[in-house]
Structure formats: structure tokens, C-alpha cells
Amino acid sequence: MITARKEYRFCGREFTPEELSLIREVIQSCGGLSRTELASTICELLGWKRANGGLKSPECCDLLERLEGGGFLTLPQKRETRARQPKKRIASPGEPDPTKLPGDLKAILPLEVELVRSQARRDLFKGLVERYHYLGYVMPYGARLQYLIQAAGGRQVVGCVQFSSPAWRMKARDRWIGWDDAARERGLQHIVNNSRLLVLARVRNLASALLACVLRRLPADWQEHYGVEPFLAETLVDRERFYGGCYRAANWLVLGETSGRGRMDRKHLRHGARVKTVLVYPLVRDAARRLKGQGR
């Protein structure tokens, strides 16, 4: 059981006993607020923000659920914002047909990369990932950027790519960087995780080509949105399903494999359940050195 008698670490931040008591007091005294509103309030009170000043409300929501699971507090019931929809979707107007493109990459170049900004495009991104990606769509953990990649002239969406917050610990990655806990806490914000890659057309070499296009603009977009320059991109490939050939072809480095626990398995209950290959792509020179805080 979690108590307010000692510090509690979550998402790279130490919460003091006083802060934990404040969190519980806010939950108890602001019963009329939703979970999201409570998270934003707590972030404001604790100054838990990103480098660009934005509140870490998604992370705080996860913290509150973790504290509730540990018996430390009781959250209000989740509010239903809309009627539940059936899991099985049918394609909506405007969604691409993956079968109606030529098989030659040159025929659809140059690829056009669009950062998802509007609700309509976000809905399209979600719909495509939910319909065609084997993992479906799940709200990303923490910060995120989503991209739609289109064939030349905007004829058709041919891919979806998502980047989000990195894993707190990953043995193969951390060993490659060579940092300790203190350096990781300082430098982790400079890593982004490629949490979804979806290719919507059977075109040879398309996956590696769209990855390369997105990575060229990712650093500027991430810094614009979150005020942090990314030094390294990481991804995890399920070794039982994929070899990760498109990443290898796009010059990503293979660092090793995970234990199979997953980022949320803190009790070591799922060791070896889903082993994944760890790959990284340096976005700057001397990425490992800079992540350790040793300058350019």
C-alpha cells in the first residue's frame, strides 16, 4: 500500500510526502471535478510542467490511477462523454483503399508529410490506426505527435506515424547511452518513442521512405510543440511478428531486446511475455554523449 510517509517516484519525478498529502487533499476537497480537471489542478499546484510550460496532465492522470490502485486515494467515477461505439469499424468516407496504388515507389513520390493538427485529421488518423494496425489505437502516454503521409499530390494517405514519450527504463537503450539514474532523469525528455508505424499500401520500400521523410521534420516539430530538442528516436518491434526490416533499411541501430515486461509492469509479473527488439535512430551527432549531458 502507498503511504504519504516516504517519497514516491513516478515518471522520473520524486513526489515528497507533503506533495502526496496535497494530492490526496485536492482529490477529497474537489469532488465536483473530473479526473482530467483534477490532474490539471494538481499539475498547477505542483508546477509539474513540460519545458514549454504545458501541464503534464496525461502523466498526472496515470499517476492518480496508480495511487488509487495502491489504496492511497479514491478517484471520482470516470465520466462517459459519449455513447460507447462498437469495436468493429467500417471505413468512413475519405479513408484510403490500400489496394489502389501502384507498386512502384517512384510513382508516388515525393511523399507529403502532414502533422496532424485538426480534429478532423486526428479522427482520420485514429480511424486508420484502429482499422488497420494490429494493436489498434490507444491514447499515447504523455507527449505525442501524429503524422499522415500522403502520395504525391495528396492523392491518398499511404501511412500513419506516431511519436510519443519514451520508456522510463530500457536496459539495452540505457546501456548504449551509458547513463546513470541521474543522467537519465535529466536527459530522458530528449528521447521520443515511435509508438505507431502503419503502412497503408503494398509499395516496395515505402515504409523506410516514409520513416525517413518524417524523421527529417520531427526534431523541429517536437521542439515547437514541447520546447525540447530531441536527440534520439527509439522504437520497439515485436520480434514474434516482425523483423523490423524497414527500420534497419532506414539506418536505425539494433541495440538488443527487452525483458518482455512492458513499461507499466512494475511488479515483474509479465517477464518474457512479449519480448521486443529495441532500435534507435540518432537525430543529432553524438546523441549518446549529449543525452549524458556532456555537451555537443
Whether residue 141 sits in one domain with residue 26: no
Say yes or no: 286 and 145 in one domain.
yes
Domain-located, residue 207: yes
**Cβ neighbours for 7, distance < 8 A, ≥ 6 positions apart:** 14, 15, 16, 17
Looking at the 3D structure of the chain, how many domains does it have? 2
Question: Which grid coordinates are listed for 73?
Answer: 486515494
- Domain-embedded: residue 79: no
Do residues 167 and 28 both lie within one domain?
no
Digit-coded pLDDT (tens) for 234-292:
999 998 899 899 999 999 999 999 987 555 444 444 444 589 999 999 999 999 999 99
Say which residues have a Cβ less than 8 Å from residue 13's Cβ, sequence separation at least 6: 48
Nearest to 222 by CA among 194, 185, 251, 262: 194
Query: What is the CATH classification number for the domain harbouring 168?
Result: 3.40.630.30
Q: Is residue 96 part of a domain?
A: no
Q: Rounded distance, CA 156 to CA 161, Å?
A: 15
Q: Is residue 212 situated within a structural domain?
A: yes
Pairing of strands 157-164, 191-199: antiparallel
- Percent of the chain having pLDDT more than 70? 87
**Is a pLDDT exceeding 70 seen at residue 142?**
yes
Predicted confidence (pLDDT) at residue 296 exceeds the cutoff of 50: yes
Contact indicator for 222, 230 with CB cutoff of 8 Å: yes
Same structural domain for residues 156 and 267? Answer: yes
> What does the pLDDT average to over 63-82?
83
What share of the chain has pLDDT > 90, as a percent? 56
Give yes or no: residues 226 and 180 share one domain. yes
Helix (H) or strand (E) holding 120: helix 119-132
* 241 and 137, same domain (yes or no): yes
pLDDT tens-place string over residues 87-136: 444 445 456 665 567 778 999 999 999 999 999 999 999 999 999 999 99
Domain membership flag for residue 90: no
Report yes or no: 277 and 236 within 8 Å, Cβ to Cβ.
Answer: yes
Are 129 and 204 in the same domain?
Answer: yes
Residues 47, 189, single domain; the answer is no
Residues 130, 45 within the same domain? no
Q: Are residues 227 and 284 in the same domain?
A: yes
In a domain, 140, yes or no: yes
Pair (142, 36) in one structural domain? no
Beta strand extents in 116-266 (DSSP E only): 144-150, 157-164, 191-199, 232-238, 253-257
CA dist., res. 30 & res. 93, Å (int): 43
Which residues make beta-bridge pairs with 254? Answer: 279
Q: Quote the CA–CA distance of 43 and 40 in Å, as a whole number.
A: 5
Q: pLDDT tens digits for 11-32?
A: 878 899 999 999 999 998 887 7
Within-domain flag for 75: no
pLDDT at 72 over 70: yes
- Find residue 289's DSSP bridge partners: none
Range of the domain at 287: 105-291
Kindly state the DSSP code that residue 55 receives in the 8-state scheme. Answer: B
Q: Does 208 reside within a domain?
A: yes
Q: Select from 69, 97, 115 the last residue of a domain.
A: 69
Whole-number pLDDT of residue 98:
59
- This prediction has a pTM of 0.74
Judge if 131 and 225 occupy the same domain: yes
